[in-house]
């Protein structure tokens, strides 16, 4: 479903291949992230933010961060801070926002009540609004009745034409009205930058609430007013907002503002095909960070849902993503979140970083080891085994106390060859120092050479040594084991094994 992008060029989006259009100041791109601080940053929101960011930065445009906290009951400052933190952790940044300020401050909807009231007043003057006294219970009942009778469950317009006497009466009952928008009976259509021409027939939209009975602007009014007054040029959001766009366009029109360009990207689905939610497991960026996923792996993976890079280069950090990403190449069908593919990417990124970077990132995940002088060596030794930093402690256990081998593993210690190998290993160690990784490597080499001509397979030489040292039949390379454990400890373990206490 690609292609609308090119068609959409006349609507103000342009390919990177047409840099000449970038010079036009009136086409300066401004996008926004508009998270609702009702919980931790969701993977889906992060993906939306990523798309916005990649698009804006790719076009040399600016990014506005706006907090949609009109639902005071569910929003909290704590969550707002957590969201900003997680967005930054992912590597995203913004030019204007509640924390950095900007020419269109404030950036929290809860602090923009006056602006919304002014706009609502303007609409009222034009006769485009009316107070609605229906209670939530009544509305719920209407909806259910409509549904059961097979009618469209949109607001039925009960309060649309109330007489002023009737209004007074209801007010006297103590009812506080919400303000509804008088939705005109006409078709609404627009060009979605991804879906192309979309149209909504008249009568498909009910009179929606502009101002809630508590006096606060609802999502539709607040969002439209903010997008208009903040000069947003492109609204990139999830497809769940596609239908809302009709409402928003109507409001832009009523308010006399020019609407932005819209692009609705596909949704992020859980493995069962439903919208990604808690029941599918971890959904918050924060949870993935805590499990040891890397920010560049997350942004990489999220971008790969609905988008694929040219030439098949799939392992990309944010910077590379920025260079290759083109919002017009997004696929319009929904994508299922696949943890295994994320794991693969995370492993790739871990192995792509420099050792010192991994070691720094790893510290918090292995506090019991990070103080060790040879911690970097330990990390290096298990680098190829881990998919997340959270796997570290499990693999590093090899360097801890030696547990007795299980029955099957202990077999490596039995037999004449094994005993001779262990004796020889102890002999070599006795004579040498394990000064560094290289000398440990030499010890392994010398041991192999000592048995090379005797028709003994490498594994018959080295597996007994491995088991004698760790009690396990798998783990980091032997040279790592020797070096990290140290000469004294290695000799002690070898002698213990030779004494037969392991087998």
Partner RNA sequence: GGCGCAUUAGUCUAGUUGGCCUAGGACGCCGCCCUCUCAAGGCGGAGAUCGCGGGUUCGAAUCCCGCAUGCGCUACCA
Q: Which 124-183 positions form the footprint of RNA (CB under 7 A)?
A: 132-136, 139, 143, 147, 150-155, 177-178
Q: Which is nearer to RNA, 282 or 336 (CB)?
A: 336
User: How many chain residues are in contact with RNA, going by CB under 7 A?
Assistant: 92
The answer to the question of residue 200 lying near RNA (CB under 7 A) is: yes
As a whole number of angstroms, the distance between CA 440 and CA 484 comes to: 9
Nearest distance, CB of residue 262 and RNA, angstroms: 12
Tokens of 310: 């040219």
**By CB under 7 A, residue 112 contacts RNA:** no
- Exactly one of 42, 112, 195, 349 binds RNA (CB under 7 A); which one? 195
- Which residue, 38 or 95, has its beta carbon nearer to RNA? 38
Instruction: Please identify, among the stretches 32-40, 85-93, 226-234, 365-373, the one whose residues bind RNA according to the rule CB under 7 A.
Output: 32-40
Among residues 16, 24, 275, 278, which one is catalytic? 278
**Catalytic residue check, 278:** yes
Cis amide linkage into residue 103, ω under 30° from 0: no
Torsion 292-296-298-301 (CA) sign: negative
Shortest distance (Å) from residue 360 CB to RNA:
21
Give dist(CA 482, CA 487) in Å, integer. 7
State the nearest-atom distance from the C-beta of 65 to RNA, in Å: 13
CA distance 191 to 448: 71
Cross-strand bridge partners of residue 269: 275, 336
- Among 158, 308, 397, 439, which residue sits at the site for RNA (rule: CB under 7 A)? 308
Q: Is 463 in the site for RNA (CB under 7 A)?
A: yes
Distance CA 463, CA 483 (A): 17
Where in 253-282 is the site for RNA (CB under 7 A)?
Answer: 266-267, 269, 273-275
Which range, of 25-33, 88-96, 210-218, 399-407, touches RNA by CB under 7 A? 210-218
Q: Which is nearer to RNA, 28 or 147 (CB)?
A: 147
Which residue, 26 or 482, is less far from RNA as judged by CB? 482
Shortest Cβ distance from residue 174 to RNA (Å)? 12
Report how far residue 381's alpha carbon sits from residue 483's, in angstroms, rounded to the nearest whole number: 11
Backbone angles phi, psi at 469, to 5 degrees: -80, -40
Q: Is 199 in the site for RNA (CB under 7 A)?
A: yes
Among 160, 278, 414, 459, binds RNA (CB under 7 A): 459
Q: Which residues pair with 130 in a beta bridge?
A: 180
- Of the candidates 125, 340, 407, 433, which one interacts with RNA according to CB under 7 A? 340
DSSP of 15-72, one letter per residue? -TT-GGGGG-GGG--EEEE---SSSSPBHHHHHHHHHHHHHHHHTT-EEEE-B----T
Task: Compare residues 26 and 78 and give the one whose CB is closer to RNA.
Answer: 78
Considering the complex, what minimum distance in angstroms separates the CB of residue 374 from RNA?
17
Instruction: Compute the distance between CA of residue 470 and CA of residue 257 in angstroms, rounded to an integer.
Output: 72
Residues 477-496 that bind RNA (CB under 7 A): 477-479
Figure out which of the listed residues 94, 190, 208, 483 binds RNA, where binding follows CB under 7 A. Answer: 208
Does position 306 bind RNA by CB under 7 A? yes
**Do 178 and 213 touch, CB atoms closer than 8 A?**
yes
Helix, strand, coil percentages in the chain from 3-state DSSP, rounded to 5: 50, 10, 40
Residue 240 sits in the site that holds RNA (CB under 7 A)? yes
State which of residues 13, 29, 31, 34 lies at the interface with RNA (CB under 7 A). 34
Let me know: does 267 contact 46? Beta carbons within 8 Å.
no
DSSP run (H or E) holding 209: strand 209-211
Q: Is 244 in the site for RNA (CB under 7 A)?
A: yes
Among 15, 289, 348, 432, binds RNA (CB under 7 A): 348
What are the two backbone dihedrals, phi and then psi, of residue 474, each rounded to the nearest 5 degrees?
-150, 160
Q: Which of residues 51-110 bind RNA (CB under 7 A)?
A: 68, 70-71, 74
Helix (H, G, I), strand (E, B) or coil at 358: helix
Q: Is 3 in the site for RNA (CB under 7 A)?
A: yes
Q: Which listed residue (317, 343, 411, 489) binds RNA by CB under 7 A?
A: 343
User: Site residues for RNA, window 365-404 (CB under 7 A)?
Assistant: 384-385
**Residue 11 sits in the site that holds RNA (CB under 7 A):** no
Q: How far is the CA of 76 from the CAs of 45, 118, 282, 400, in angstroms?
A: 17, 26, 21, 44
Q: What is the dihedral of CA 379, 383, 387, 393, to 10 degrees?
A: -30
Residues in 349-368 at the binding interface with RNA, rule: CB under 7 A: 351
> Which of 31, 225, 305, 503 touches RNA (CB under 7 A)?
305
26: left (phi over 0), alpha (psi -120 to 50) or beta: alpha
Residue from 117, 167, 182, 341 in contact with RNA (CB under 7 A)? 341
Q: Which residues are catalytic?
A: 278
């Amino acid at each position: 479903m690609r292609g609308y992008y090119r068609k959409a060029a006349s609507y103000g989006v342009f390919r990177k291949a047409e840099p000449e259009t970038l010079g036009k100041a009136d086409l300066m791109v401004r996008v926004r992230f508009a998270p609702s601080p009702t919980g931790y940053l969701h993977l889906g929101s992060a993906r939306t933010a990523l798309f916005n960011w990649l698009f804006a930065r790719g076009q040399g445009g600016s990014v506005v961060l706006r907090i949609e906290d009109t639902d005071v009951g569910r929003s909290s400052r704590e969550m707002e801070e957590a969201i900003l933190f997680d967005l930054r952790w992912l590597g995203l940044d913004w030019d204007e926002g509640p924390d950095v300020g900007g020419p269109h401050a404030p950036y929290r909807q809860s602090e923009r009540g006056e602006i919304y009231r002014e706009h609502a007043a303007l609409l009222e003057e034009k006769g485009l609004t009316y107070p609605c006294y229906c209670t939530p219970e009544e509305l719920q009942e209407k909806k259910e009745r409509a549904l059961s009778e097979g009618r469209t469950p949109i607001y039925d317009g009960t309060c649309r034409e109330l007489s002023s006497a009737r209004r007074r009466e209801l007010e006297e009952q103590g009812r506080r009205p919400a303000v509804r928008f008088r939705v005109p009976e006409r078709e609404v259509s627009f060009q979605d930058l991804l879906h192309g021409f979309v149209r909504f027939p008249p009568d498909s939209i009910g009179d929606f609430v502009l101002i809630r009975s508590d006096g606060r602007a609802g999502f539709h009014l607040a969002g439209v007013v903010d997008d208009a007054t903040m000069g947003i040029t492109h609204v990139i959001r999830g497809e769940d907002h596609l239908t809302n766009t009709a409402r928003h366009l109507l409001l832009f029109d009523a308010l006399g503002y020019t609407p932005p360009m819209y692009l609705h990207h596909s949704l992020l689905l859980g493995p069962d095909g439903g919208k990604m939610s808690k029941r599918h497991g971890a959904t918050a960026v924060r949870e993935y960070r805590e499990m040891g996923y890397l920010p560049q792996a997350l942004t990489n993976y999220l971008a790969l849902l609905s988008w694929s890079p040219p030439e098949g280069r799939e392992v990309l950090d944010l910077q590379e993503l920025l260079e290759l990403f083109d919002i017009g190449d997004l696929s319009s069908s929904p994508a299922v979140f696949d943890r295994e593919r994320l794991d693969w990417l995370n492993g790739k990124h871990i192995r792509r970083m420099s050792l010192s970077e991994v070691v720094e990132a790893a510290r918090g995940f292995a506090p019991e080891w990070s103080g060790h002088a040879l911690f970097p060596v330990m990390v290096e030794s298990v680098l190829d085994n881990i998919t997340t930093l959270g796997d570290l402690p499990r693999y590093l256990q090899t360097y801890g106390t030696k547990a007795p081998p299980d029955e099957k593993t202990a077999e490596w210690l039995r037999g004449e060859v094994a005993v001779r190998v262990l004796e020889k290993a102890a002999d070599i160690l006795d004579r040498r120092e394990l000064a560094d990784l290289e000398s440990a490597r030499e010890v392994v080499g010398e041991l192999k050479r000592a048995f090379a001509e005797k028709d003994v397979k490498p594994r018959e030489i080295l597996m007994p040594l491995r088991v004698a040292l760790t009690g396990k039949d798998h783990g980091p390379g032997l040279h790592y084991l020797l070096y990290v454990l140290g000469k004294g400890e290695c000799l002690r373990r070898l002698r213990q094994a030779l004494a037969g206490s392991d087998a």
